[in-house]
Structure 1
Amino acid sequence: MTVEYSLAHLTVLGLAPPQMIVAAAQAGYSYVGLRLNAVTTQEPRYPLHTDRLLLLETKRELAASGIRVLDVELIKLTPSFDVHDYDALLDGSAELGARHLIVQGADSDLARVSEHFGQLCDSAAKRDLTADIEFVTWTETADLARAAAIVRSAARSNGGLLIDTLHFSRSNEDIAELAKLPRSWFRYVQVCDAPSVPPTTLDGLIFAARNERMFPGDGGLDLRGILSALPPDIPYSLEIPTAALAKKIGLQECARLALESAKEFFGHRGALCSSAPRSHQKFSCKPA
């Protein structure tokens, strides 16, 4: 199985989009995912949809490198969500040639968040974009069942689910339940590894997710099981922030190692490789 890989912005969040695209091209990725709307107040901000010069520079690097934009983040469906607040973000995403929007359901009212998701899907469809709900353990949409309920209730053809292997594992989800959902809901997957035993505090969970993920095969998550429950031909977005390692070797090298590790781990047998830990230098994906 041939897998296309995308470099998620969180993996190299200190790199502005043009520099990130250069790093992705040098490492051998097919795509990048761009964080145009910041998630936290502490992180770097790259609002291409309001910074025309940065947008044009990013487009030049995309054209020069052949790298494509897989996804753009992040849109939060809060109780006060107004779809028109995101017109510029959606227009910029379309201009970049992006395919998908990452969405979080930040509202405890299921009917309201589903209505807002439907509105966003309709707006995205006008730009040939999909909208994909990602459930995150510490948010209002913390599990697979609630995320699926939002997608099902909105009932839009371009609405779907984005599975992050870390959040799936930390929310103690059942792979069998994942396999029951419509295949058309899944357009790509975010991949990383992590220790099988999660942090014991909320702050620990959040810090680890944003700073201490692991390359495929270095942790104890059931990557084989999760990915085998998804369509086999979807891209793998490598979202693997490794803050301590990045300080030692740099973000560009982290991007390269993430892709090298994923290719070694998945090998020619794709997601059916063993998920046993390994070192970066010596690993072989042996048949089960």
Structure 2
Amino acid sequence: MNMRTLSLAALTLLDVSPAEQVRIAASTGFTGVGIRLLPATPQDPDYHMLGDTPAVRETLAALRDTGIDVTDVEIVRLTPDFALNDTLQTFLETAARLGARQVLVAGNDDNASRSADNLAQLGQAGKAFGLTMNLEPMPWTAVRTLADARRLIAASGQPEVGILIDAMHFWRAGESLATLSQLPESCLNYMQLCDAPAAAPTSEQELIRQAREARNVPGEGGLNLHALMAALPAGLPVSVEVPLSGAQGALPASERARLLFNAARRYLQPTA
């Protein structure tokens, strides 16, 4: 039976630099990290992780020193003005230099045809760097559900593009395990584990706030994580994406990482 691996997602410790995230991941038991090369919002910190910067070189050194792998990099948004510009080219080059293989992609364009064309360009560009795109359904974006993701991938003509399952987004979008069972295993490259209150927020603003700032430690919320994990492929890598708030969020970064690693370990066995 395959054992799942645990990676520390970028959003979990976004308050510390990528190099420090790598060192913390190594000291707390994780075998991989996710690295945010581009800020997801204007409010997020920019650690200058594009190109041959001091931050990139420090992160590379930390990866070499610790043996930690880069599970994924983020975030590329399919927006109405998406373009394969110099910034995105440098993003892909940097991702490959860090040893990444997976890229997180968000669908932020209501024009399905244009979005499919852009995903096709992105997928082709990534192949030159050994990178696979992974479309993450989020209930406040243009790609809300697994069905939305499958349609967009089919329209793009890029069947190797993956679908990223996030535990919070999966249940908040009203998905079912039956729908999940219809996904071919080949489109699943890794998943994101977290917990959240069982009752979904009534406003989109609160939905987004919880997702970006206030998730729950696995096992401390109301999501049916055991059923979700049992429905996923046995060896699927797990990225622990849990930005914490309140007293837990005020803990030092290393303590947060250790808390989450210990909580997530119970989900390593696919039959747990």
- Give the TM-score of the pair, scaled to structure 2: 0.95
Q: CA deviation at 1:246?
A: 4.5
CA contact (8 A) 1:15 1:251 kept: yes
Higher mean C-alpha deviation, range 126-135 or range 146-155: 146-155
Q: Provide the residue aligned with 2:53 in structure 1.
A: 52
The number of equivalent residue pairs is 270
**CA-based RMSD:** 1.4
Q: Provide the residue aligned with 1:28 in structure 2.
A: 29
Q: CA deviation at 1:243?
A: 2.5
Higher relative contact order (CA 8 A, sep 6+): 2
Higher mean C-alpha deviation, range 223-232 or range 168-177: 223-232
- Residues 1:207 and 2:206 are matched in the alignment: no
Q: Deviations over 1:103-157 (max 9, x none)?
A: 0111111111111111101000100010000011111111111111111222324
CA contact (8 A) 1:245 1:254 kept: no
Q: What secondary structure sits across from 2:142 in the alignment?
A: coil
Q: CA deviation at 1:3?
A: 1.5
CA contact (8 A) 2:226 2:267 kept: no
CA contact (8 A) 1:5 1:30 kept: yes
Q: Provide the residue aligned with 2:92 in structure 1.
A: 90
Equivalent residue in structure 2 for 1:116, among 115, 118, 126: 118
Tell me which amino acid in the other structure corresponds to 1:81: F
Q: Deviations over 1:65-100 (max 9, x none)?
A: 000101000000111111234100000000000010
Equivalent residue in structure 2 for 1:135, among 134, 137, 149: 137
Equivalent residue in structure 1 for 2:228, among 226, 229, 236: 226
Q: Deviations over 1:146-185 (max 9, x none)?
A: 1111112223243110010100111001221111111100
Among all aligned residue pairs of Structure 1 and Structure 2, give the percentage whose two residues are the same amino acid. Answer: 36
After superposition, the Cα gap between the structure-2 partners of 1:145 and 1:56, relative to the gap in structure 1 and judged at 3 Å, is: same
> Which runs of 4 or more aligned residues in structure 1 lie more than 4 Å from their structure 2 counterparts after TM superposition?
none
What is the rounded CA distance, in whole Å, between the counterparts of 1:35 and 1:159 in structure 2?
19
CA contact (8 A) 2:107 2:135 kept: yes
Q: Where do 5+ consecutive residues of structure 1 fail to align?
A: 274-288
CA contact (8 A) 1:129 1:158 kept: no
Q: Where do 5+ consecutive residues of structure 2 fail to align?
A: none
- Residues 1:15 and 2:16 are matched in the alignment: yes
Q: CA deviation at 1:204?
A: 1.1
Q: What secondary structure sits across from 1:249 in the alignment?
A: coil
What is the rounded CA distance, in whole Å, between the counterparts of 1:248 and 1:167 in structure 2?
24
